[in-house]
Structure 1
Amino acid sequence: MQDVHNLVARLRRESYAFPTIEERIHAILEDFASQKGNLTRVYANEENVVECITIQSAHMRAMFELFPEVVLIDATHDTNASNYKLFSFMIHDAMGKGQHVQHCLIENERKETLRIACHQFKESCPNYDSIAVIMIDKDFAELAVLQEEFPGARILLCHFHVVKYLQEVVAKEKYNLDAWTKKEMKRLIQLLVGAPTEVAYANIITAMKVVLRTDEKKKLWFSYFDKNWTTCKERWSSAYRGNVPDMGNHTNNRLESSWQKLKTLVNRSTTLDDCVISILFWQTVNERIWARNIKRIGVYMNVEYDNEMNQLLNDVSRHAVELIKQQYDFALLSTTKYHYYPVGPYVMMQYTSAKDDDLPDGCMMNPDGWTCSCMFRVTRLLPCRHIIYYRKDTGCSRFVPESIIHPRWLVKNYRKLKNATVADDDVAVAYEDR
């Protein structure tokens, strides 16, 4: 990594030749934009105050092109002395890790400024319509802008922030709850957010009414809850949002974890130009780590896997194999039995070994495209137990061939990103003041 440290040292040395922070940032960003595929923009308002600085490397743009399904978005504070917030976009890669696809330093969090960041992302990533899920915290300004800018995406709320916010609300003096009731309501709120089925969700709502006891307290709480949360439960409740490819993301923890690492380099006393340099350094290090991790040579084998799984281990990422393996093992159990029958172009599959207390396991499977309506297939874009069982039961030679795997998980596709370039780049100017 010595060459990366040398780059940072050179940027700092050269930038200090300029007398002002603005001039130093301009020089740093021009140097960054001189590398093919890198893009950066500086947006100033009518008073010539910089409101937004956007940064995207060729690697970041290529990462989004391959892994566009779910994007985590949030802002963090305390990265520089000028009080600019770091507003970042992150995707979920084939290894199950978060990778940044845009960094912005924003002077404020007004809708107009957030919209600038979104517009720049859309300009540099023309396949933004491929986004299926956007994960945010409870910031309603972000929510409004993202709904307008990405109308084809489902906006989901981070479970951690929803639980934290609702637990703070229920503890407010206006609800006049005693200590035991507050404790029970906080516990039920956490259960409600993670409720796996609509039946479980309804049962927890009933339990809340029992815990609140009096009609007055029930009316006070549910008048607030129904107005502000029941109407948008598909954004935050597990029971109602399992029909989108969120890749198992229920929080923005990946994004927040990455910021903890960045904040070992910056803090609230860091000058804005040094903050920009640190972001570029940090991003370069992450890209080097990615390239190192995907450099796979030879054939991989796991002594605990059968031939089918070992072949899959060389077709897709290890993270994907680990997820599929759980489905594969269940489908191949001698005790696993599904009853299935055709319904038009689909196959209805019903688990016949289910007990009364089992979660329902009935779904519609499409043998033409090898898709399934079950939560695992929809949220992970990977072959589920229903597909694997059906292929086994109908005599297919392979149960999990490469041909039924979504392209995002294939080794041969994501290895191309080791030395990422953006082909046929239609963005004419790499660096621009706007």
Structure 2
Amino acid sequence: MGTGYRIRVASEGIKHNHKLSKLTFDRYPENRAVSDPVMLARVDAMRKSGAKARGILMYLREECANKATILKDIHNLMARLKASSNPGDTDADCAESVLRDLCEHDKGAVASLFVDSTRVLQTASFQSRKMRHLFAAFPEVLLVDTTFGTNVNRYKLFSFVVHDIHGKGQYVQHALMTSESKAHMKDAKKVVALCDGSQEHKQALKDIFAAMHPLFKYFLKNWDGITEEWVSYQRSNVPHLGNNTNNRIEAKWAKLKDLIRPSAGVYECLATLLGLQGICENEYEVELNKIGTFCLPKDDEYQCMDKRQLGELKQLANMVSMHAYDIINAEFKAALRVSTSYKICIRQDSVVELLNEDEKRQHLLSLEDFTCSCIFSQTQLLPCRHAFYYRRSTIAFAGTQFESIIPFKISTQGGVSNKS
């Protein structure tokens, strides 16, 4: 066509090139979509709480029976809702908005955000007010580990967990980071040989690696001579407070990942962590202030106790958490067994020595606060079997209200009170 040539449409005629029916109209994408503002708000709340697309679809099928919504529509709807709820242009802006909201509503909370020169988020961490209080109350054992697959940006999630008075793990800090502390990780090659005993184990390795494999040489040089530091059965006396692995933090991550999706953005991951942390804090407060009943089990060891000893255990159950009670109860029953025997010697005015001739071990017990030199007393900060045995065996405490178990005003100094 030459320059200046134009086409003018004088009239038009429109008609469908397919069959028209109500079924076709209802199945049209625009008509399948949910448009009710109330339903959209509910779907958005379900999406933020970690609901799956299929579960949302089942909910909408019940609430909107006249809609022929399919799974693809739900995925599109969730994507639109996610885009509309984005509080900023970049991950750093979104994360900053979430953390600022936390600090505004929780006056004792602290949060930090670090970005590089190009405004790319490097780290984001937070502690709520109750998380800080939990760490201040239980700083003795701190579990630290990292996990993956919590956000689409592949940031690593570092979590810090303490061991509370109920014997459970409680989060005290979360942090999202771009990488681990070391820039590079070296691959390790694992070689395994199965045998019946330690001598056979060494001989099997020598037979397999006749030319002294470098890994075997490294093992003999650096590990074989210090088995007491890493072999489980040789570390039976090492204090670990029930945390000989990262078992607690791994168990908590398993529950956390049920709600955090790998496709979530960094700010969504932070928002979900904050929501879950609020639930955990509420559960902890309910457990801490729970009122209930307690009955002593009818086992053989309880049947051998007299009424005074049973009464002491019942009073103990009202003083401490059930987790602390179970730990103290085990020590109490061990002290009352007929087979338990210690030789008591006075070392100083306020210190006595308890010697177990079978185990060839001696323990120093302070008579001022009944703390002991044993690993149990030093790590658990609870009265041990040596204190119970001494009080039961000494006439000075016979007939008193607390003949064997340490009085409440003394035991609270060791941190066993359920009001920690």
- Is residue 366–residue 372 contact of structure 1 (8 Å, CA) maintained in 2? yes
Residue 235 of structure 1 and its aligned partner are, at CA, apart by 6.0
Tell me the CA shift for residue 209 of structure 1: 3.5
Show the counterpart of 2:333. 329
Matched pairs, number: 325
2:138 corresponds, among 60, 67, 88, to 67
For 1:287 and 1:213, locate their aligned partners in 2 and report how far apart those are by CA, in whole Å. Answer: 55
* 1:385 CA displacement: 1.3
Q: Which of residues 398, 407, 418 in structure 2 aligns to 1:411? A: 418
Residue 114 of structure 2 corresponds to residue 43 of structure 1: yes
1:276, CA displacement in angstroms? 1.0
Q: State the SS of the aligned residue for 2:261.
A: coil
Is contact 1:15–1:24 with CA below 8 Å preserved after alignment?
no
Matches within 5 A, 1:394-433: 394-395=394-395, 396=397, 397=400, 398=402, 399-400=404-405, 401-402=407-408, 403-405=410-412, 407-413=414-420
Distance in 1, matches of 2:278 and 2:295, equals 32
1:254 pairs with 2:275 = no
Aligned residues of 2:144 and 2:159 also touching (Cα < 8 A): yes
Matches within 5 A, 1:144-223: 169-171=190-192, 182-184=193-195, 208-209=201-202, 212=205, 223=217
Are residues 241 and 303 of structure 1, via their aligned partners in 2, closer, same or farther at CA, if it must alter by over 3 Å?
A: closer
1:361 and 1:218 map into 2 onto residues whose CA distance is: 42
CA distance in 1, matches of 2:91, 2:265: 8
How many Å separate the matches in 2 of 1:32 and 1:231? 51
Aligned with residue 96 of structure 1, among 158, 161, 167:
167
- Give the C-alpha shift of residue 373 in structure 1: 3.0
Superposition deviation, residue 310 in structure 1 = 1.0
- Report Cα offsets for 1:292-333 as digits up to 9, x if no partner: 111133775536571111111111110111111111112112
Scaled by the length of structure 1, the TM-score of the pair is 0.65
Q: Report the counterpart of residue 37 of structure 2 in structure 1.
A: none
Deviation of 1:383 (Å): 1.7
Task: Write the letter of the residue equivalent to 1:275.
Answer: C
| CA deviation after TM superposition for structure 1 residue 265, in Å | 1.1
Q: Map 1:281-320; keep pairs closer than 5 Å.
A: 281-297=275-291, 300=294, 302=296, 304=298, 306-320=310-324
Instruction: Say whether 1:348 aligns with 2:353.
Output: yes
- SS of the aligned residue for 1:308 comes to helix
1:57 aligns with 2:128: yes
Alignment partner, residue 18 of structure 2: none
Letter in 2 for 1:273: Y
**CA pair 21-374 structure 1, distance change in 2 beyond 3 A:** same
SS at match of 2:194: helix
Q: Deviations over 1:255-280 (max 9, x none)?
A: 01111111111132111121111111
Which residue among 81, 89, 96 is the counterpart of 1:26? Answer: 96
Measure how far apart 1:55 and its partner are: 1.0
Distance verdict in 2 for CA 1:42–1:14, change over 3 Å: farther
1-structure distance, mates of 2:83, 2:369: 56
**Cα separation, 2, equivalents of 1:291 and 1:93:** 12
| Cα distance in 1 between the residues matched to 2:365 and 2:213 | 43
CA deviation digits over 1:79-115, x for unaligned, max 9? 0000001001100000000001100001111359xxx
Question: Aligned equivalents of 1:109 and 1:316: distance in 2?
Answer: 40
User: The residue matched to 1:340 in structure 2 has which SS?
Assistant: strand
In structure 2, the CA distance between the partners of 1:16 and 1:47, relative to structure 1 (3 Å rule), is: closer
State the AA in 2 paired with 1:390.
Y
Secondary structure of the residue aligned to 2:296 is coil
What's the offset of the Cα at 1:339? 1.2
Task: Note the alpha carbon deviations across 1:116-151, whole angstroms, 9 max, x for none.
Answer: xxxxxxxxxxxxxxxxxxxxxxx999xxxxxxxxxx
Q: Corresponding residue for 1:388?
A: 388
- Over 3 Å counting, the alpha-carbon distance change for 1:327 and 1:80 in structure 2 is same
Structure 2 CA distance, aligned partners of 1:211 and 1:405? 55
Alpha-carbon separation, structure 2, partners of 1:68 and 1:393:
35
- 1:177-226 superposed Cα distances (whole Å, 9 cap, x missing partner): xxxxx122xx87xxxxxxxxxxxxxxx5x664455466958896664235
TM-score, normalising length from structure 2?
0.67
Q: Distance in 1 between matches of 2:241 and 2:128?
A: 24
SS at 2:165 equivalent: coil
Question: What do residues 324-379 of structure 1 show as CA deviations (whole Å, max 9, x unaligned)?
Answer: 11111121123322112134564332335x4xxxx665433333342223333233
Match in the other structure for 1:364 = 364
Aligned partner of residue 255 in structure 1, secondary structure: helix
Greater C-alpha radius of gyration: 2
Task: Write the distance in 1 (CA, Å) between the matches of 2:118 and 2:83.
Answer: 30
Which amino acid in structure 2 is aligned with residue 393 of structure 1? Answer: S
**2:262 aligned with 1:268:** yes
Q: CA deviation at 1:53?
A: 0.5
Alpha carbons 1:383, 1:405 under 8 Å: kept: no
CA RMSD across the alignment: 3.6
Look up the match of 2:62: none
Q: Percent identity?
A: 32
CA contact (8 A) 1:242 1:378 kept: no
Shift in Å, 1:48 = 3.2
Once residues 84 and 308 of structure 1 are traced to their aligned partners in structure 2, the CA distance between those partners, rounded to angstroms, is 52
Structure 2, unaligned runs of 5 or more? 1-41, 50-80, 303-309
Distance 1:313 1:111, change over 3 A: same
